[in-house]
Structure 1
Amino acid sequence: MNSPFTGIPDFRPDGYLPEGMHPASEAEVTFRFGTANRQRRRLVLRVRRWVELAHRIDAPRLFIDGSFVTAKAEPNDVDAVVLLPSDFEERIIANSDAAIELEEMLLTRRPEEIFAQEDETDWNEGRSNSSAEPVNPIPVEKVLWRR
């Protein structure tokens, strides 16, 4: 059964989401995972910045994962993978503020939880998790990223 306010499914008894991808809007991610306490509010600010940058560079998708999308009261982090548009390098050369800011994050690994892939196939192949924790990313829907 889904939570009454979002399309994101309820957590399993172990505190993780059911296996699979669970598309959600920025508002759904914020409401479901980013309001319960100070740590979650701090992490959701990071997510919202990444969503803004992804929108501004016309990224096809942004995936959110990590302990942020679990039932943990105090998640350690929020992981993200942004699928870069094919013209990302051109945007950097054209001095796009958003592309430059995102590139700096990716190159300096600050914050260390954001990654980039150039296509979804590469990301799907590389997203296996060596730990026992399930990998259940939340793709933040592009439809809210109106141009």
Structure 2
Amino acid sequence: MTTRIEKHGRNLHIWPEGITDPFIIRPLPGRAGVQITDAYLNATAGGGGDIVAALQIAVDGARENAITGQWELLPEEEQANWARIGRELSQEEGNSVIMPAFLWQTLLGMDGVRLYLEEGEGLTGTLKAVGALAQRLGRFVPRT
């Protein structure tokens, strides 16, 4: 579980329970945020997309490929948060860093992070916040 999440300047600081030093998440450029949002939502809908890469970009940032214009993962040695999550946290604890970072990088921003936390984190928080994201984007809206 997460102890606390705060914005400090332009960065998001995340303290998982029992961890002294926060994970510092830097904001992505808007186009990179759109790219990871599309990749995540497409993959969850079965349409392809690399969820893991999208989440890695959310926590550590990306570089724009000058030829393709796509945002790509940083080299492994520059993925400090991703490596730290893998070394210091269980998968459940890691999710409490990764999902808020991802949601914060989307157009939901802190509203998505708050919704994730209010719903108790984990699967329930993820489903609620990602559902809100999809609805906000007009995707997966149920027809009545």
Common fold by TM > 0.5: no
What's the TM-score once normalised by structure 2's chain length? 0.27
What's the TM-score once normalised by structure 1's chain length? 0.27
Structure of greater relative contact order (alpha carbons < 8 Å, 6+ residues apart):
1
